[in-house]
Amino acid sequence: MSLMIKGELREDWLDSETEDGAFVRKESQFRHWVTPDGSPGPTGEGDFAAEPGRYHLYVSYACPWAHRTLIVRQLKGLEKLISVSVVHPHMGPQGWAFPSSDPSFEPGAEAGDFPGATADEVNGASHMYELYRLAQPDYSGIVTVPVLWDKQRRTIVNNESAEIIRMLNSAFDAWADTSVDLYPAGLREEIDAINETVYADVNNGVYRTGFARTQAAYEHAFDRLFDALDALDARLGKQRYLTGGRITEADWRLFTTLVRFDAVYYLHFKCNLRRIADYPQLSNYLRELYQWPGIAQTVHLDHIKHHYYTSHPEINPTGIVPKGPALALEAPHDRARLA
């Protein structure tokens, strides 16, 4: 992540906390929608019609928000329809970069080499901020992944992951696996309510904990995080998925935080009251989702650990990446008992 003001790159993206030291995430700015025929989407923005090969995703394997989009792309069978570029997991002073574009990644390391990261074969950018500037020369806002890019009009459609996954879930159904619907009409109100709590206290809660600038702000976010995890563990002791017997986008939005928790957030962000492995229901639930067909290949723990431990010198100034922990994500689970 980085920050741009009127098209100029800034390096103080983390300067987004309140007077009490609490971290406040800046809102995404590009909020257009892809729809089957280009008609306006839920935000009233449209004119982007679904077409095979027209759209491209810019992602980081390390980023939980980008991970959501890769999961839905995989589950809907859109791999051949929507291409992908993957940034290097290390995020330097200029933000997300593509391989071999930033010699300052690590002392002594070859510039930008990292397995799984790719060049930008669509626009030839070296950094993500160049794409934001291409889409809007006077752009002011955060430079994040994921980005849904229109190759035809050479612009950003959307950089809000919650909206991108909704587009991937339905806009491309003329070519996608229509047996998969992660936002079914009868469950939308419940999904939205769950998403609101999970986002505030868990997905963003780990960041509010890790990026807090005062003890009080840290403890407030910490307590909300573990109160939410306790409630989720209790909920999943009674039903297989967050809305009952059917898996939905709410489960996958939670999954991307859970799968990073023990390896990163527990230590790096000081979320250390309990590990997910210590929760009987959440740990089993995490294993089921990780073992869901096609999902393990979207999880890149090498990118995840490298990003967090090397990209936040204010938290981990040595940049040392821990070798552990050992995660039992492929161990058997017992979630079928709740079917």
Which pLDDT belongs to residue 101? Answer: 55
Whole-prediction pTM: 0.94
Confidence bin at 324 (pLDDT 50/70/90): very high
* The pLDDT value given to residue 147: 98
Tell me, yes or no, if 63 is annotated catalytic. yes
**129 counts as catalytic:** no
Asked if residue 49 lies in contact with residue 38, where contact means CB atoms within 8 angstroms, the answer is yes
Q: For the chain, which domains are there?
A: 2-170 (3.40.30.10), 185-338 (1.20.1050.10)
pLDDT tens digits for range 94-108: 999 998 755 555 533
Query: Tokens 């959307």 sit at which residue?
Result: 158
- Active-site position among 63, 218, 241, 279: 63
What is residue 103's predicted lDDT score, i.e. its pLDDT?
53
- Report whether pLDDT(111) > 50: no
pLDDT in tens, 132-160: 999 999 999 999 999 999 999 999 999 99
In sequence order, what are the residues at sequence separation of 6 or more whose Cβ sits closer than 8 angstroms to the Cβ of residue 136? 7, 155, 156
Give, in order, the Cα–Cα distances in Å from 203 to each of 43, 228, 229, 243, 256.
23, 11, 11, 18, 8
Question: Is residue 223 within 8 Å of 208, Cβ to Cβ?
Answer: no
Question: Tell me: the pLDDT tens digits for 40-97?
Answer: 888 777 789 999 999 999 999 999 999 999 999 999 999 999 999 999 999 998 999 9
Q: Residue 301: name the closest of 64, 20, 48 by CA.
A: 64
